[in-house]
Amino acid sequence: MYCSEHRFAPPPPPSLPTPLPSDQFTQGLDMSMKGYVAPDGMMGFHATPLPIPNPQPFPPQQWADVSSLFTPPQTLLHPSQSAPNFQTNPPQHQAVQANPLAPPPALLPEGERCIYPMCNKRRYKEDDGKMHNFCGRYHATEYKKLKGESFPPEMKCKTPGCTRQKRARDEGGGYYDYCGRSCRDGSFRTKPAGIIHVHHKFFSAAGEKCSLPGCDKPRFVDPASGRVHDYCGITHANQATIQSGGVSQVCSVRLLSPGEQGPVQSHFSSQWAKGKGACPTITCAFEITNQQLETRWNTYKQSLPRGSQCVEKYYHGTKLKCDIVNAGNPCNDNDCGICGISKFGMFRKFIRRNINFQRFGHGFYFAPNSSKCHDYTQGVQTHRAMLLVEILPGKKHTILSNDVKLTNPPDGCHSVFGKQAKPSTTQSVCGLVNASGQYEKLKKKFSKSWCSKKGNVPKISHVLEIVNPKLQQRLDNYVSKLSWPYNGVEQYYHGTQIKCDMLEYYEPCSKSNCGVCGISKRGFDPQRINSSSWQRFGKGFYFAPNSSKSYDYPRATHDATDKYHCMLVCDIAPGCKYTLYKDDHRLEVLLRDIIRSTEAPNGFGDYGRVQI
């Protein structure tokens, strides 16, 4: 594959929490954050926002360049394992004001209501009329726990993270290995601690009341860890934050001095990839401290096995919707990702909120390069912001190609690390390798076949070799059927459009409108020929021996500029050529008649070939 002045825009960014407030801020807000992302989807950290000015309101060319061959890898932390213990309920991003005048819900009669505390469901009644004390098995089991009637360890469900008792067999006695179908089928997912789910909700003893003044409800108890939280639920935890005079007690924001900002600026600049344009200037940096998230971060670090507790600095790009510089505190806008993550960490429910495509499946994405995450920042007016966080990736599972269906790291791993394929790597179906050995040869061939009337020869930035064993076998089989002297193979150019960043992961994308990747994987499909447009010699595939001719047809990558293009250098078997000296858009019918005619030219094969 052959790229002339190649440029790619970033892939659709990973989806992440879309939390809070809105005003205006600064572009490239880096945040020196000490944080962790647990596999259950929760994150804690300190942070330092780094606003970076953008002289124009985000011109596309400043955010889309990826010209370096070694673009930054991404780390995806999957929310798949049980969470560490948390101190408070992670509040929803919109507080709900309780109405003290609202009448309480009607209760069922005591003889019909489940005896589990705070449950208003009807007791389970069997077909023979037998009435049980509980609405179902779950509350019956949890009630035993409250009474101290626990089951022995050998009776615990085999699924890691599940605290329920094994289910009794309906016939023959004994117990199953699991508590239910979800654990048996592997669809069980440990819920983030502190988030209330109706089927997992139970409360502490009546003496432990909610910490919100005026609330007499018992505190929420996390069913996975047994931790008693400060409030009865997310609503009152959110309300307590508002009543305490803003979010200053949740996290604090401190503007870094010029001396403190220097190392942050140096790190940001050193991690800016070449070819992404000029590195933006950081106007100010902040340190965001959140004691609760810090505690969770330390707890998670201690839970990792020795040797997997390495702390790494990564960037994370998200939305900024407020003027945190002048406000001094994170805002309450549900659409402000910077402030939402700073206050509450990361939650799985916000994954894919704004971005559908995720290269390595469902999870949170980070990158070691500031230029990579800069493509995913969304700011206000002339500034953008991003987070610089210290993360605990644990043991990484490294992959070299996209896997959008990935849901969890393999057993024993804590995160997924997407890395470029090595230059010597060739994938089994359709791989890309760095064609360093052919670079000078193709560059010279490209310049030599360029027509001087077309202007200066474009600069070649990258050359990639596409390896597809299936297509190679089809070509070899076709050539073997041709008789001499029509069984030769020639190199021709073909111009088409590209819609992805093929240089990043050395793998063709799956976009239907990306011509380069589609041809690389499946070859030339007759159904993809655009019959509605004018074609000089009728419907068919067009190639040219001159690079300048094919250069008129490739479309620019992502944006509307003509700065970067990509074309293919193909090995083709033209067979016997039918030569023309003028246009004939009806040639498709003519060739078909010639091929079917008993008087077809000697040596003319199954496929007509045209040369002018």
Mean pLDDT (the chain) is 66
Q: Same domain, yes or no, for 301 and 336?
A: yes
Domain boundary among 353, 386, 418: 418
Q: Is residue 37 part of a domain?
A: yes
Q: Is residue 280 part of a domain?
A: yes
Q: Same domain, yes or no, for 604 and 541?
A: yes
Task: Give the gyration radius of the chain's Cα atoms.
Answer: 31
What does the alpha-carbon distance between residue 418 and residue 400 come to, in Å, rounded to a whole number? Answer: 6
338 or 245: which leads in pLDDT: 338
Sequence-distant (6+) residues with CB within 8 A of 439 are 460, 463
Q: Is residue 176 part of a domain?
A: no
Q: Same domain, yes or no, for 521 and 588?
A: yes
Domain boundary among 364, 385, 418: 418
Supply the pLDDT for residue 213.
63
Domain boundary among 390, 418, 446: 418
Supply the pLDDT for residue 598.
32
pLDDT, tens digit (0-9, with 9 covering 90-100), for 54-78 = 444 434 433 333 333 333 333 333 4
Residue 202 pLDDT greater than 60, yes or no = no
DSSP H/E element including 587: helix 587-596
307 or 42: which leads in pLDDT: 307
Supply the pLDDT for residue 426.
35
Supply the pLDDT for residue 273.
75
Sequence-distant (6+) residues with CB within 8 A of 267 are 313, 370, 388
What does the alpha-carbon distance between residue 107 and residue 96 come to, in Å, rounded to a whole number? Answer: 23
Q: Same domain, yes or no, for 265 and 397?
A: yes
Q: Show the tokens assigned to 362.
A: 């469902």
Q: Is residue 133 part of a domain?
A: no
Supply the pLDDT for residue 219.
78
Q: What length does the chain have?
A: 612
Q: Is residue 411 part of a domain?
A: yes
What does the alpha-carbon distance between residue 189 and residue 491 come to, in Å, rounded to a whole number? Answer: 54
Q: Same domain, yes or no, for 495 and 607?
A: yes
Lowest mean pLDDT among 322-336, 365-379, 385-399: 322-336
Beta strand residue intervals within 28-82, DSSP E? 32-34, 36-37, 43-44, 52-53, 74-77
Q: Range of 600's domain?
A: 431-611
Q: Is residue 178 part of a domain?
A: no
Q: Same domain, yes or no, for 354 and 414?
A: yes
Supply the pLDDT for residue 600.
33
pLDDT, tens digit (0-9, with 9 covering 90-100), for 278-331 = 788 888 888 887 777 788 888 888 888 877 777 888 888 888 888 777 776 777
Give one word for 25, left, alpha or beta, with left for phi > 0 and alpha for psi -120 to 50.
Answer: beta
pTM for this model (two decimals): 0.37
Q: Same domain, yes or no, for 486 and 463?
A: yes
pLDDT, tens digit (0-9, with 9 covering 90-100), for 553-598 = 876 554 433 456 788 888 888 888 777 777 766 665 444 443 333 3
Q: Same domain, yes or no, for 279 and 396?
A: yes
pLDDT, tens digit (0-9, with 9 covering 90-100), for 400-448 = 667 777 777 778 788 887 765 444 333 333 444 445 556 777 888 888 8
80: helix, coil or strand? coil
Lowest mean pLDDT among 96-110, 342-356, 555-569: 96-110
Burial of 343 (0-12, 13-18, 19+ CB in 10 A): buried
483: helix, coil or strand? coil
The total of structural domains in the chain comes to 2
DSSP H/E element including 237: helix 234-243
456 or 25: which leads in pLDDT: 456
Q: Same domain, yes or no, for 435 and 405?
A: no
Q: Same domain, yes or no, for 559 and 467?
A: yes
Q: Is residue 473 part of a domain?
A: yes
Q: Same domain, yes or no, for 390 and 458?
A: no
Supply the pLDDT for residue 352.
65
Q: Same domain, yes or no, for 398 and 437?
A: no
What helix, strand, coil percent values describe the chain, rounded to 5? 25, 20, 60
| pLDDT bracket for residue 106 (50, 70, 90) | low
Q: Show the tokens assigned to 5.
A: 């002045």
What does the alpha-carbon distance between residue 89 and residue 514 come to, in Å, rounded to a whole number? Answer: 45
Q: Is residue 158 part of a domain?
A: no
pLDDT, tens digit (0-9, with 9 covering 90-100), for 159-177 = 876 777 888 887 767 788 8
Q: Are 526 and 538 in contact (CB under 8 A)?
A: no
CATH number at residue 577: 3.90.228.10
